[in-house]
Structure 1
């Protein structure tokens, strides 16, 4: 698929998809006319990259862990530096805190909706 199609399917602007390619997060093939051609499987990859970026994980770390995103159990990682491990632990802990906050807010909204429905 072309870059515009990938952008439409993922909701990620084409300029960001070009940036992901520049950062070596995506590797589209090129047709004879020079147009990028993206595999259908990259829809999930782009969504995953977007989620990691939204969670605050920088592209340099995403690039390091990219091989593990598809199937973490099949990759034997040996080149993780202590700094990378510390960064990943910090980002994981930040994600956990955000998840807990979101869960609390979801529960509060659910409780409010139940109370409103009972009152009507």
Structure 2
């Protein structure tokens, strides 16, 4: 399929699909006319990439674990991909996400406190 069809089927803009290609997350074939051609499984791959990005993972980490994802509907990593270096990256990312959650929680609580104060009883 061409990039426009992949974009329609996944809801991801063609520009973003090109970015995924630049980052090494997608590898389309090239037709004789130079157009990108994506296999059917690219739809699932883009969905996996979107899910990982939505969870807050950077493309550097996604690129390292993507080759080991085995199932379309779930993230099941092959244990062989968890090198000490990748484990350290994932731990650091988990800590970053935890810090962000704590910050968001404080901000939410402050907003709710402000609303309660100005809304009255």
The interval holding the TM-score normalised by the smaller chain is 0.5 to 0.7
Q: Which has the higher contact order (CA 8 A, sep 6+)?
A: 1
2:87 aligned residue: 85
Q: For 1:29-63, what per-residue CA distance to the aligned partner results, in whole angstroms no more than 9, with x for missing partners?
A: 00000000001111011011011111110111011
Cα deviation digits, residues 6-36 of structure 1 (max 9, x gap): 0000000000000000000000000000000
SS at match of 2:52: helix
Greater strand proportion:
2
Give unpaired runs (5+ residues) of structure 2. Answer: 102-121
TM-score (normalizing by structure 1): 0.67
Instruction: Indicate conservation of the 8 Å contact 2:65/2:81, yes or no.
Output: no
Gapped regions of structure 1 (runs ≥ 5): 99-120
- Cα-Cα RMSD: 2.4
After superposition, the Cα gap between the structure-2 partners of 1:75 and 1:27, relative to the gap in structure 1 and judged at 3 Å, is farther
Deviation for aligned residue 1:77: 2.8
The size of the alignment, in residue pairs, is 95
After the TM superposition, list the runs of 4 or more consecutive aligned residues in structure 1 that deviate by more than 2 angstroms: 70-78, 89-95
1:76 aligns with 2:77: no
